[in-house]
Amino acid sequence: MPIVPDTKDWTWVLERACADCGFDPEATTYEAVPGLVRDSAVRFAEVLRRAGVEDRPDESTWSPVEYAAHVRDVCLIMTHRLDIALSAAEVPGPAIGGYDTAVTVDDGIPMFANWDQDVTASLENYAAQPSADVAAQLTTAAETAARAFESVPLADRARVARRSNGSQFTVDTLARYFAHDLVHHVHDVRG
Ligand SMILES: [Zn+2]
């Protein structure tokens, strides 16, 4: 069986603890997010030094390299989305295959374009990316994201943005949604 597209709405992770990875949004402060992002990158870099990280555990599960390439792009995209939420306007974004940097602004609230992560995984050919390159890029992208989130002034954490399905985020909830994504994927690769 090939990789099954991830169409789940993961916003529930903001309301209750994740049964898979244990992430608890209520117990996670905004201030903890940059540290979780950096820690996830360190754990991924350790995983990527293992033998056989290019191999999928089974046909429907990404290899550790594919997960790490995805997490790198999540860091780049979340940094961009933070920029959008703070500026309420379209701002330059990362050049990632399948990622649409366009923004629509309605009533002063910016809305992100939909991102299909499986299209990006295919267009960017995650499976063929060298593990050492991915580890270095992930470290850099995570550090950039961590600094971006920790430099947001307190008053700006309440700024809002929308996903393409209409669900509304604040900078505060975006940060915790982002942190869960990384912690969850560390769990996926047993990091
Ligand atoms: Zn989880």
Residue the block writes with tokens 């971006």: 148
Residue 27 lies in a domain: no
- Domain residues for the domain of 68 are 34-188
Residue 184 Cα, ligand 1 centroid: separation in angstroms? 4
Question: Over the chain (191 residues), what is each successive 10-residue block's mean pLDDT?
Answer: 58 82 93 98 97 94 97 98 96 97 94 95 97 98 98 97 90 95 95 83
Given a contact cutoff of 8 angstroms between Cβ atoms, the answer to whether 103 and 163 are in contact is: no
Residue 132 Cα, ligand 1 centroid: separation in angstroms? 26
**Dihedral sign, CA of 33, 34, 35, 37?**
positive
Question: What pLDDT score does 124 carry?
Answer: 98
Q: Domain count for the chain, please give it.
A: 1
Residue 92: CATH number of its domain:
1.20.120.450
Question: What pLDDT score does 9 carry?
Answer: 62
Residue 140 Cα, ligand 1 centroid: separation in angstroms? 23
Q: Which residues pair with 103 in a beta bridge?
A: 112
Residue 18 Cα, ligand 1 centroid: separation in angstroms? 4
Residue 73 lies in a domain: yes
